[in-house]
Chains A and B, each alone.
Chain A
């Protein structure tokens, strides 16, 4: 078994008074694509946010590349080589496409994709440099959000619902890009509602319910778990 890049142990998190994560345990190995599935409100987005310290109080342990991150600030966690694509994509309205793309400074020890490589991966973004970021279509904004974190040189990508609300052709393009990133050795933790999209790429699945991991299996066990999955998340 390869080395774990992300190890989460007994992670609890709160938003104000509200206790949203109740002891999450999961790990993602280097070069793996792991998908976190579950119903809305199960705590998947909160798990990604808690890794970066974007929730309120946290307890437990989040180790990235062997470094315990619980005492670190968000930007320090990112500097360990983490890229985060939020569900709302976070394209800055006051910045052009080019400015959005060039925004993240190179992370220490990272291997940023060049702008040319980014355009090869997402051809739709080429020639759109001067357009205001939020004037792109939903799919193009999603590609920009993904491309942007690749420009920082992050190697662990936390992607939240990146296929949500997109046309099937765009979803296919994004899936292709993710497969390419996987081939290049990126480590990806994907939160996904679109199970078909996830099953074509993922190595392993974690199922969340009520702020906890309730099931964990590899892609090979998918058929055997079909009934359970149907019961847990309705697919």
Chain B
């Protein structure tokens, strides 16, 4: 039994694993995007840029300051999240009263500026970031060889998503966030400092993106456009999953990663479009997304 549907098990398993790794990145990024959109009503186009800044922060930390991967995994989300908070406080906050398009334009503009800055400093060819020593081995699963780092990416992403799900769905803070998504002004009449909650939520979404960036640095090339390339797919994930369900977003992200991986095997030419085809189908059948609530 070394073939399934005509594909060698090894090949199938490695494609699924690659799909799962991509799905893990989609999950962390789409979660941040969905949380920010839910509470702020802002289509955060700069999400991909913060992901890229996260990867570069890890790269710069290692090369200029000798910051290890593990320390970067903790510090980078804090530092980049703080940058996000500053961006929210100084610029984004002024646009909440205006049409969604203004937020989209501002965050898109920020993306261009940040990408341009990194392109000027580092060029477009990309830098490599070494896999941390402790995760440099390869696990022999019997039917396939699994690089430990890839397994770590999946485990770390799922863990972060699980904690986020728990906080949003099972704690009082999460209840405030969900209520704030529905009617922020009413939540404010309960004496809750909603502007601060919005600011911290934005910072948290940005920190999630930066976390994904550090996770990605050893497996993908660190380059200025890495965020833009991924963000389009992440937007599709959020649209397919629908807003309003943390679990739905994460499940959709992992599922789409796997489907993408399988498509690479079956009909490689369609692998970069399959997510968008699914998006079209889902929008036709369920406009609010697979797990979204019809308003």
Contacts and interface: CB of A to CB of B under 8 A. Distances in A.
Interface stretch (B121-129, B189-197, B215-223): B189-197
Contact of A93 (B182, B187, B190, B195): B182
B114 to A, nearest CB: 31
Interface in B256-295: 293
- The prevalent SS among residues of B at the interface is helix
Contact of B191 (A79, A94, A95): A79
B293 to A, nearest CB: 8
Interface in A40-84: 52, 54, 73-75, 78-79, 82-84
Interface string B154-178: 0000000000000000001001101
Contact of A103 (B190, B194, B195, B293): B190
Contacts of A82: 189
Interface size class of B (residues with CB under 8 A): 20 to 34
A197 to B, nearest CB: 23
A94 B186 contact: no
Contact of A94 (B178, B190, B192): B178
A92 B244 contact: no
A13 to B, nearest CB: 15
Contacts of A203: none
A102 B172 contact: yes
B192 A75 contact: yes
A145 to B, nearest CB: 10
A92 B183 contact: yes
A27 to B, nearest CB: 21
Given A74-B185, A102-B172, A92 B178 contact: yes
B179 interface: yes
A75 B181 contact: no
Contacts, number: 64
Contacts of A152: 190-191
Contact of A107 (B172, B181, B185, B191): B191
A164 interface: no
A86 interface: yes
Interface of A is mostly: loop
Contacts of A107: 191
Contact of B175 (A54, A79, A83, A99): A99
B176 A103 contact: yes
B178 A104 contact: no
A8 B186 CA distance: 22
A123 interface: no
Nearest to A106: B191
A90 interface: yes
A92 B188 contact: no
Given A73-B195, A75-B194, A102-B172, A94 B189 contact: no
A95 B195 contact: no
B189 A84 contact: yes
Given A92-B182, A94-B182, A105 B175 contact: no
Contacts of B193: 75
B171 to A, nearest CB: 10
Given A73-B195, A94-B244, A102-B172, A52 B189 contact: yes
Contacts of A90: 183, 186
A75 B176 contact: no
A201 to B, nearest CB: 23
Given A93-B293, A104-B190, 12 more contacts: A52-B189, A75-B193, A75-B194, A79-B191, A82-B189, A84-B186, A90-B183, A92-B179, A102-B172, A105-B191, A149-B190, A152-B190
7 contacts: A75-B188, A90-B183, A95-B175, A103-B175, A104-B190, A105-B190, A149-B190
**What 3 pairs between A and B have smallest CB-CB spacing?**
A104-B190, A78-B191, A74-B188
